[in-house]
Amino acid sequence: MPPKGNQTKEEIFELFSRHVSSGKADFFRSVGLDFVFGRRQGPFVWDATGEKRLINCHCNGGVFNLGHSNPKIVQALKSSLETLDIGNHHLVSQSRALLGKRLSELTPGDLTYTVFGVGGGEAIDLAIKLAKGYTKKSKVISASGGYHGHTGLALATGDGKYRDPFGPNLPGFVQIPFNDLPSLQQELDGSTAAVIFETVPATLGMPIPDPDFYARARELCRRSGALLVVDEVQTGLGRTGRLWGIDHFGVVPDIMVIGKGLSGGIYPMSATCFSAELEGFFHDNPFIHVSTFGGAEVGCPVALAVLEESSRPGFLDHVNTLAGIFADGFAWLREKHPEILVGLRQLGLMMGIEMVNEHCGPFMSKACYDNGVLSVYANNDTRVSQLLPPLIIDEDLAFEIIERVDRALDDTKRFLGLSPS
């Protein structure tokens, strides 16, 4: 099927290079990933030429948890468009009220209030603003190599490679190694407003925290008067086999941030969830934070449909069944490819393919592409390739992904000269 407008793929690349990003166009050409999204359905995406199909195991970090063009999500938007539009971000809204109520029923503990945004970075910005405003403190502790978005305060918590080109960091932002309680205890003090972590940091290569890490971090925060902020933008909505990744650790954070998958891949939506006590900070001045498109009324039914699908009986059982297939499959791959494969970092379908050195990830991404799988390496630990299939794949496709990864590992070994002599 030809691209819309009868443009060739090279013409699309040229337009993109001239009017969107010359650097991205040059990069993808140089590494042989000249893919332009065309048709998409369920777990699959086709090139604009219709000649190449990929299994989407990147999913934009969880945007497509429910697959591309999920019929229930598409129908929710179609129905919403018949009666709703953006709405007014100042006035009381039935759509936002209903979505907020459902989130309060599904989020952990006493997180009964929500402020809506359009992306994870905006939601993280608000979480940090709220923590600073509520505690009247200024210090924010995050993980080295972590990622919380490209906006102002979110960027200040993240890795320097994204932040430093724009100048010095904001004062008061400190980073420590992830999953390192002694470092956290040493850094926490009376000036700390917030400690913020991704439940499982994807860009850092999916390191799985110790089972007691969050419970002990929660207690350390309580003692110092700091708030614990958990970033569930990628781990939320069933990705880990629980509705929220933090549920594995039995902890209720002070603030929880949701994004990506809440959109259903159809309408941008993010959420910053917190308790009634923290909501009191906004009570006397409820207009100190607004977002014109945050919680747009036309998008709220989409997010509600996502929540209903992600929390329906049997959904998480299916995710955990798939997780078992991948765990067993990678145990087999580890025996077959000891020269390159260290193992699978895994919490449900939050998975990272850990390999022997920092050269492996980029080559593995290309090898996966050549073998029909869209996967990207972890930018802050290039030993690791991320594997994030849609949560709605069937068991046969899970086995097929493992077979394709098997071939990609063979190719990567040859590229890097790691095959046994």
Edge-to-edge strands of the sheet including 270-274? 113-117, 270-274, 255-258, 227-231, 192-198, 139-143, 173-176
Closest listed residue to residue 251, CA positions, set 125, 107, 104: 107
pLDDT score for 76? 98
Q: Quick check: 261 and 66 in contact, CB under 8 A?
A: yes
CB atoms within 10 A of CB 176: 21
Dist CA 4 CA 173 (whole Å): 46
Same domain for 48 and 147?
Answer: no
Tens digits of residue pLDDT in 67-79:
999 999 999 999 9
Phi, psi of 24 (to 5 degrees): -65, -45
More confident residue, 6 or 152: 152
Dist CA 21 CA 307 (whole Å): 35
161 inside domain:
yes
Same domain for 319 and 303?
Answer: no
pLDDT score for 4? 54
Q: Quick check: 371 and 411 in contact, CB under 8 A?
A: yes
Q: Length of the chain in residues, anyone?
A: 421
User: What CATH number has the domain bearing residue 116?
Assistant: 3.40.640.10
For residue 148, the enclosing domain spans 71-311
> The pTM is what?
0.96
254 inside domain:
yes
Q: Quick check: 355 and 385 in contact, CB under 8 A?
A: yes
Phi, psi of 104 (to 5 degrees): -65, -30
Cα within 13 Å of Cα(202), Cβ side: 25
Tens digits of residue pLDDT in 349-394:
999 999 999 999 999 999 999 999 999 999 999 999 999 999 999 9
The number of distinct structural domains making up the chain is 2
pLDDT score for 1? 43
Pairing of strands 113-117, 270-274: antiparallel
9 inside domain:
no
Same domain for 123 and 270?
Answer: yes
Tens digits of residue pLDDT in 218-227:
999 999 999 9
Q: Quick check: 235 and 243 in contact, CB under 8 A?
A: no
Residues ≥6 apart with Cβ < 8 Å to 364 = 353, 355, 375, 377, 385, 408, 409, 412
Q: Quick check: 229 and 274 in contact, CB under 8 A?
A: no
Same domain for 377 and 395?
Answer: yes
